[in-house]
């Protein structure tokens, strides 16, 4: 069990550029979650997948954000036309289908300049 991994760990981009983050969950976990954490705050839910199906999206997930989990394994989160307000830590978590516990990855820190 290698845990949840995220790539890249850090991303600096200029406003208006597109960025994509990847999350690899724990291998047997069916559920995958994305959260966003800004400085001094707790994580906020963005979206979650059960296998390849995206079952819930937060209102925080504007039209510029899209997430996929094409084969029910890894997931990608893309932000188009980044804005300075998108600067945050993006956290991925996974859990078993019947599990209550979510296991978090190390996060991707995005800085939009």
Partner 1 sequence: AQSVTQLGSHVSVSEGALVLLRCNYSSSVPPYLFWYVQYPNQGLQLLLKYTSAATLVKGINGFEAEFKKSETSFHLTKPSAHMSDAAEYFCAVSDKNTGRRALTFGSGTRLQVQP
* Binding residues vs partner 1 (CB under 8 A): 4, 31, 33, 35, 40-45, 48, 56, 58, 91, 93, 95, 100-107, 109
Residue found under tokens 């983050």: 21
Q: How far is the CB of 56 from partner 1 (least distance, A)?
A: 6
Phi, psi values for residue 86, rounded to 5°: -80, -10
Nearer residue to partner 1 within complex by CB, 29 or 73: 29
Q: How far is the CB of 71 from partner 1 (least distance, A)?
A: 21
Cα–Cα distances in Å, from 26 out to 6, 33, 106, 111?
11, 12, 13, 27
d(CA 85, CA 82): 8
Residues constituting the chain: 113
Q: How far is the CB of 102 from partner 1 (least distance, A)?
A: 6
Nearer residue to partner 1 within complex by CB, 23 or 112: 23
Collapsed DSSP state (helix, strand, coil) of residue 7: strand
Nearer residue to partner 1 within complex by CB, 41 or 62: 41
């Amino acid at each position: 069990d290698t845990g949840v991994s995220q790539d890249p760990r850090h991303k600096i981009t200029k406003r208006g550029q597109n960025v994509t983050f990847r999350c690899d969950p724990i291998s047997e976990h069916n559920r995958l979650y994305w959260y966003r954490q800004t400085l001094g705050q707790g994580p906020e839910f963005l979206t979650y997948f059960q296998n390849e199906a995206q079952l819930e999206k937060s209102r925080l997930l504007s039209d510029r954000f899209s997430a996929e989990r094409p084969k029910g394994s890894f997931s990608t989160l893309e932000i188009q036309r980044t804005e300075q307000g998108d600067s945050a830590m993006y956290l991925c978590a996974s859990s078993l289908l019947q599990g209550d516990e979510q296991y978090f990855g190390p996060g991707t820190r995005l800085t939009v300049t």
